[in-house]
Amino acid sequence: MKNKILLKLLEENHIKCTGCGACANSCSKRILSMEMDQEGFYYPDIQDESLCIECGKCLSVCPIDNFQGNKSSKQYGFIEKPETCSVKSSSGGVFYRIAAKFLECGGWVCGSIYDDENKVVTICSNKESDVKKMCGSKYAVSNIEGIYEEIKKHLNNKELVLYCSVPCQIAGLVHFLNREYQNLYLIDLFCYGTPSAKLFMSYLSWKENVSRQGVCKKIKDYEFRDKSYGWEKLVRKITYEDGTEEIEEHLNHDPYFCSFIAKKTLRESCYECTFCREERYGDISIGDFWGVEKLGVLTEEKQSGCGISAILVNTDKGEAFIDILQKEGEIFETTLDDIKRDNLSLVKPPARHHYRDKIYKSMNKAGFEKTAKKYMYLDSGWRHRILKWVPLGVKRYIYDKVNK
């Protein structure tokens, strides 16, 4: 490749690339596109190098090379009212409470949902039914094709827009827009990295076809973190089209979740993530407030199982969210150190697992089932049997120590 700009974008920056799509969306000649690689992650690609005019716009909007986040000024915990508990939310319901207010004001909300084929995609909507689908953790990369342009259209029409996503995609939008919009509000999530879309779809196909008296069962709804047994349990729930449900409380038995928790299947850039730092692009940053029980702020009645959120306020706009949440539950002040203590991935990328490449190569060659048996479960034998009874907090402590 002779074009130095494309050489840097497509080859030199490949390992650091998050797939945010800012480069492809900003190309004036529309010759860049985001394509899925063999592992199932999105990367910029070009079909005809000769069409590039070497303007350099694709590099100038890349958030990896041009980071400009804001440091959190205030930190809070949020406890939702038990009577209005957002069961579909994975943690404390912060996103849903804020999104509902945007809908009341005639605004648009953008976030990830499962489409009709259970693929994770990002949409913009002004419907409550769609916003409810956006609730809940989705541990797979989301397809954001066309979202930046759609958000820009709403903003230029003077409409309110709320966008909630992982930090790299929030940064991608900010750099794509390349200007301030007072009607744009951003929420970035505490992110632990993302497995590929291809791996997730292979896993779902395996779940549908795994032997159940010889009957293949189509998945209707998938929840990574159902709160049927409380917020702390990490329960996976699958609803099939025939109405049956499969609830797994001890996810040591689920290969996809096991490998995700152990950081075996993340995008390459996640292992040296530019956005694992205190400076953030979102007006607020939200996630589970793991370790909150150590602070002595919870009474027994407050531990309702609905979940408790941690909130970083990063901009003046973010303060407006706190005003909304004060009417929807209980807000208490905390510190960044208290939040980071059990959320190390907030500021420190995970260590690269030695099975990472083997899993993706095996998936393409041998299929999901054989790959899962060989690489994705937790250790078998006595360790596996004991671990399923180890409390979640202890497991998180162990994993964080291992990944330091």
Same domain, 190 and 307: yes
pLDDT tens across the length of the chain (404 residues): 678 899 999 998 899 999 999 999 999 999 999 999 999 999 999 988 999 999 999 999 999 989 999 999 999 999 877 666 655 666 678 999 999 999 999 999 999 999 999 999 999 999 999 999 999 889 999 999 999 999 999 999 999 999 999 999 999 999 999 999 999 999 999 999 999 999 999 999 999 987 555 678 899 999 988 777 777 777 888 999 989 998 887 677 889 999 998 999 999 999 999 999 999 999 999 999 988 888 877 655 555 567 789 999 999 999 999 999 998 888 999 999 999 999 888 999 999 999 999 999 999 999 999 999 999 987 544 555 565 566 656 655 665 555 45
- 31 belongs to a structural domain: yes
CB 364 within 8 A of CB 244: no
Same domain, 280 and 140: yes
Give the whole-angstrom CA distance, residue 115 versus residue 241. Answer: 15
CB 98 within 8 A of CB 325: yes
Same domain, 148 and 90: yes
Give the whole-angstrom CA distance, residue 113 versus residue 310. Answer: 22
- 316 belongs to a structural domain: yes
Pick the last residue of a domain from 330, 346, 362: 346
In which domain, by residue range, is 117 found? 70-194+266-346
- 189 belongs to a structural domain: yes
Strands (E), 127-231: 161-165, 184-189, 219-226
Same domain, 225 and 368: yes
Same domain, 89 and 55: no
Same domain, 56 and 96: no
- 39 belongs to a structural domain: yes
- Total structural domains within the chain: 3
Q: Structure tokens of 21? A: 């799509």
CATH of the domain at 22: 3.30.70.20
The string of DSSP codes covering 274-313 is TT-SSEESSSEEEEE-TTGGGGT---GGG--SS-EEEEEE
CATH of the domain at 301: 3.40.640
- 65 belongs to a structural domain: no
